[in-house]
């Protein structure tokens, strides 16, 4: 009732708002159409007026991330799918205009010619030759399975067909464009003359470096005007710049000391009250424990028990000497490693090789891992003993029987398993009994060993030099921030956010509290990474919200690879699309050009006179000579590459003095003394072909040209 009462109280206000909205629709009838248009709501963007469906786009983004195995971030997937869909629509438009159609037979012919199809055993007949009918049968089965509900393989096949079709279409379009990049014999002749006309000239050159930079100041307004006059050269996007303070949720010194104390308490036996026994019981410490897996589980070690052997260089430098000086049964620690406090008991000290080369003959039995054998365990053992008796001390016989009996990847290799490194052998993925045999017996040893896979006749073939190693039982506890620490960190972040909301200044507050202020400059709408924070798409999206104003702030939670914390962000600057964004990089790029323009004006005032000699005298320079200059190689001796100046020489009348020319390195005035035409050729076809080859080599720019000329509307930032 209270809500209804408030609505009634504001009824006149609501009527006024609705009335103004309807009035706006009356003034512009298209507004109401746009308001209710589902195409705008469901469109992620447009290419030449053709919508990109938002739902389809989202599905493809999800599929892309799935195919990447989760390695691609959401925005990486968004960008990849966007580029693919924009490309598809741009080419579709061009293909329609060009009248290019790829038929089903074209697609089929391209498909059956693929090496992966031609060489697949699935599509070969009894003669081991590719059979088109088997491919057709395979496709028909995929379709049947899709109709039965198993659609994944069929969808993948359709995607393959689509890709083949697109490739054929684009190849046809590219070939069509390349065919149009021709050249005439007249162009060939012009190219010949350009390459072979040799120019002799005299010139006066005053370098820009002769004027001090301090005499030519370039203002920010001049840079801004230059940018406005060169919008195509310097395309600008909407940007945001942020400042932020990061509060990492990290353990305090007190937390560190408490974890260390807890870990230390697990070294020796301790007494604890048992609710089940209603009395105090004795709990074994690591020093007296014998069943280490149980010890780790019962005491909730944050890292599991490992079975491997460690050399000294594989242990933390701070603790390695102490561990190798300890006796079996000694406990070392607590010590800190990779964010954990640990205690380690020396279980075994051995001399062990770094890697071992071995061979095997496997006799599996019913129930063994990956076994299809019908032999009982007893029968398999009897067979293994018989084989061992035949091969003992005879590697040639060993290899023959291995190739006859084995069914794994060692068949045909004499049972050779190859080199197995110590850390691989004593890992969870390798059989423990096999590892113990090959590492705890000398090279040349043969024996029968039962493993999870059956009975092996094993030959230890070679071992690399043995070194001292230890086997450890290590109890670990992660050094984590306590609840008290987390609350204190949250309070600090929330206090900063509150002060900024109350018109506080970030720099002043940070200085007062010793906070480190970080910056992110010129973020674009689709960016996702911030310095020191990596993927923080939520912050970028917030900064580009239409209602966001400079000075707005907000606290965000973050989790970067398991490192949690808070970040308080302030929007420091914003520019809209096509706004002038004067960055330090742009200034560094533009400033030298503007400085040279100003220097040119100062130099021109000195370079007066009717002859080269007069100009040289007035500008405190000299008349220099250059010979055999060509347009193909526009190098002026003593100066360098000056294509603009040489271009002027190519059209200037002989013995005529040019006007002042602004070159790349300074201001010139030139006089051509000789420019004889090269001998005419009977045919200029070779030069015409050179032009065609150069044009053809630029076909890779086709996509960029299409994109530059396409009308693309990009709404990705509104949805992702």
Tokens of 466: 């043995």
Structure confidence at residue 639 as a pLDDT band (50, 70, 90):
very high
358-463 CATH fold: Chitinase A; domain 3 (3.10.50)
List the Cα angle 264/265/269 in 5-degree steps.
125
Q: Identify the three-state secondary structure at position 265.
A: coil
- pLDDT at position 632 is 86
Neighbouring-strand partners of residue 341: 336, 477
Give residue 515's pLDDT: 93
Distance in angstroms (rounded) separating the CA atoms of residues 472 and 308: 8
Q: Report the pLDDT value the prediction gives residue 582, as an integer from 0 to 100.
A: 65
Pairing of strands 529-530, 517-524: unpaired
| pLDDT value for 413 | 93
pLDDT in tens, 285-328: 999 999 999 999 999 999 998 878 999 999 998 999 999 999 99
Pick the CATH number of 239-250+482-575 from 1.10.760, 3.40.50, 3.10.50, 2.40.50: 3.10.50
Counting Cβ atoms within 10 Å, is residue 370 exposed (0-12), middle (13-18) or buried (19+)? exposed
Please count the other Cβ atoms lying within 10 Å of the Cβ belonging to residue 547: 5
348 versus 157: which is more confidently predicted?
A: 348
pLDDT tier for residue 38 given thresholds of 50, 70 and 90: very low
Residue range 674-694, pLDDT digits in tens: 999 899 888 988 888 888 888
Does position 4 have pLDDT exceeding 70, yes or no? no
> What's this model's pTM, rounded to 2 decimal places?
0.62
Question: What is each CA distance from 143 to 121, 148, 501, 526, in whole angstroms?
Answer: 20, 9, 60, 39
Element (H, E) at 343: strand 340-353
**Tokens linked to 257:** 């000391």
Residue 548 has pLDDT above 60, yes or no: yes
Is residue 10 scored above 70 in pLDDT?
Answer: no
> Mean of the pLDDT values across residues 131-149?
86
Mean pLDDT, range 266-274, rounded to an integer? 85
Share of the chain above pLDDT 90, in %: 48
Instruction: Give the model's pLDDT for residue 9.
Output: 39
Lowest mean pLDDT among 51-55, 199-203, 585-589: 585-589
More confident residue, 169 or 317: 317
Q: What is the pLDDT of residues 443-496, one digit of tens each?
A: 999 999 999 999 999 999 999 988 999 999 999 999 999 999 999 999 999 999
Per-residue model confidence as pLDDT tens digits over 404-431: 999 888 999 999 999 999 989 988 889 9
Q: Which CATH number fits domain 198-235+584-674: 1.10.10, 3.40.50, 3.10.50, 2.60.40?
A: 3.10.50
Residue 378 CA to residue 108 CA, distance in Å, equals: 57
**Whether the Cβ atoms of residue 588 and residue 606 lie closer than 8 Å to each other:** no
Backbone angle region of 602, left / alpha / beta, with phi > 0 → left and psi within -120 to 50 → alpha: alpha
| C-alpha dihedral, 631 to 634 to 637 to 640, nearest 10° | 170
Provide the pLDDT for residue 7: 31
Which percentage of the chain shows pLDDT scores above 70? Answer: 92
The neighbouring-strand residues paired with 557 are: 566
DSSP class of residue 422 equals H
Contact between residue 712 and residue 52 where contact means Cβ atoms under 8 Å apart: no
State the chain's mean pLDDT as an integer. Answer: 86
Rg of the chain on CA atoms, in Å: 39
């Amino acid at each position: 009732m209270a809500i209804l009462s408030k609505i009634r109280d504001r009824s006149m206000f609501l009527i006024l708002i609705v009335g103004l909205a309807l009035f706006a629709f009356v003034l512009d009838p298209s507004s109401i159409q746009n308001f209710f248009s589902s195409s705008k709501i469901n469109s992620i963007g447009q290419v030449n007026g053709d919508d990109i469906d938002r739902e389809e786009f989202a599905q493809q983004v999800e599929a892309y991330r799935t195919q990447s195995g989760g390695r691609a971030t959401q925005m990486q997937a968004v960008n990849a799918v966007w580029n693919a869909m924009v490309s598809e629509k741009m080419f579709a438009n061009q293909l329609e205009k060009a009248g290019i159609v790829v038929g089903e037979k074209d697609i089929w012919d391209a498909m059956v010619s693929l090496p992966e199809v031609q060489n697949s055993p699935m599509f070969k007949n009894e003669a081991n030759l590719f059979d088109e009918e088997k491919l057709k049968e395979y496709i028909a089965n995929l379709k049947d399975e899709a109709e039965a509900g198993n659609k994944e393989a069929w969808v993948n096949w359709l995607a393959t067909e689509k890709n083949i079709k697109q490739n054929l279409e684009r190849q046809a379009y590219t070939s069509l464009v390349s065919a149009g990049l021709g050249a005439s014999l007249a162009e060939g002749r012009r190219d010949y003359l350009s390459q072979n006309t040799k120019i002799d000239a005299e010139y006066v050159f005053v370098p820009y470096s002769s004027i001090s930079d301090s005499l030519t100041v370039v203002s920010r307004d001049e840079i801004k005007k230059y940018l406005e006059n060169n919008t195509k050269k310097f395309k600008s996007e909407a940007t945001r710049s942020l400042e932020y303070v990061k509060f990492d949720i990290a353990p305090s010194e007190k937390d560190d000391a408490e974890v260390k104390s807890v870990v230390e308490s697990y070294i020796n036996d301790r007494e604890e009250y048992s609710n089940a026994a209603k009395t105090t019981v004795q709990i074994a410490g690591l020093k007296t424990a014998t069943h280490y897996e149980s010890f780790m589980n019962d005491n909730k070690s944050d890292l599991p028990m490992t079975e491997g052997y460690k050399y000294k260089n594989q242990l933390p430098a701070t603790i390695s000497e102490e561990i190798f000086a300890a006796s079996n049964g000694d406990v070392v620690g607590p010590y800190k490693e990779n964010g954990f406090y640990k205690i380690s008991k020396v279980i075994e000290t051995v001399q062990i090789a770094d890697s071992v080369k071995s061979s095997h003959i496997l006799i599996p039995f019913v129930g063994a891992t990956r076994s299809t054998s019908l032999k009982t365990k007893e029968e398999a053992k009897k067979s293994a003993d018989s084989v061992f008796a035949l091969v003992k001390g005879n590697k040639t016989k060993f290899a023959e029987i291995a190739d006859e009996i084995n069914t794994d990847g060692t068949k045909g290799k004499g049972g050779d398993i190859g080199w197995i490194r110590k850390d691989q052998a004593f890992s969870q993925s390798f059989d423990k009994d096999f590892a113990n045999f090959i590492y705890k017996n000398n090279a040349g040893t043969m024996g029968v060993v039962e493993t999870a896979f059956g009975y092996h006749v094993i030959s230890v073939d070679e071992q690399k030099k043995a070194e001292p190693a230890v086997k450890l039982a290590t109890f670990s506890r992660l050094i984590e921030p306590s609840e008290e620490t987390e609350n204190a960190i949250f309070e600090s972040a929330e206090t900063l956010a509150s002060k900024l909301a109350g018109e506080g200044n970030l720099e002043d507050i940070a200085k007062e509290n010793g906070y480190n202020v970080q910056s992110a400059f010129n973020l674009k709408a689709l960016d996702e990474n911030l310095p020191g924070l990596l993927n923080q798409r939520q912050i970028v999206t917030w900064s580009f919200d239409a209602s966001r104003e400079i000075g707005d702030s907000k606290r965000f939670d973050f989790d970067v690879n398991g490192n949690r914390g808070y970040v308080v962000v302030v929007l420091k600057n914003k520019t809209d699309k096509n706004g002038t964004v004067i960055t330090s990089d742009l200034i560094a790029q533009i400033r030298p050009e503007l400085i040279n323009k100003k220097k040119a004006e100062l130099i021109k005032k000195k370079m007066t006179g009717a002859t080269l000699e007069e100009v040289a005298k007035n500008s405190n320079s000299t008349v220099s000579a250059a010979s055999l200059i060509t347009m193909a190689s526009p190098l002026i001796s003593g100066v360098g590459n000056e294509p603009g100046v040489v271009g002027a020489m190519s059209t200037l009348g002989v013995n005529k003095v040019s006007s002042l020319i602004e070159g790349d390195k300074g201001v010139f005035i030139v006089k051509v003394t000789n420019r004889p035409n090269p001998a005419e050729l009977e045919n200029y076809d070779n030069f015409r072909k050179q032009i065609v080859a150069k044009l053809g080599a630029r076909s890779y720019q086709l996509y960029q040209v299409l994109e530059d000329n396409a009308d693309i509307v990009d709404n990705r930032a509104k949805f992702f």
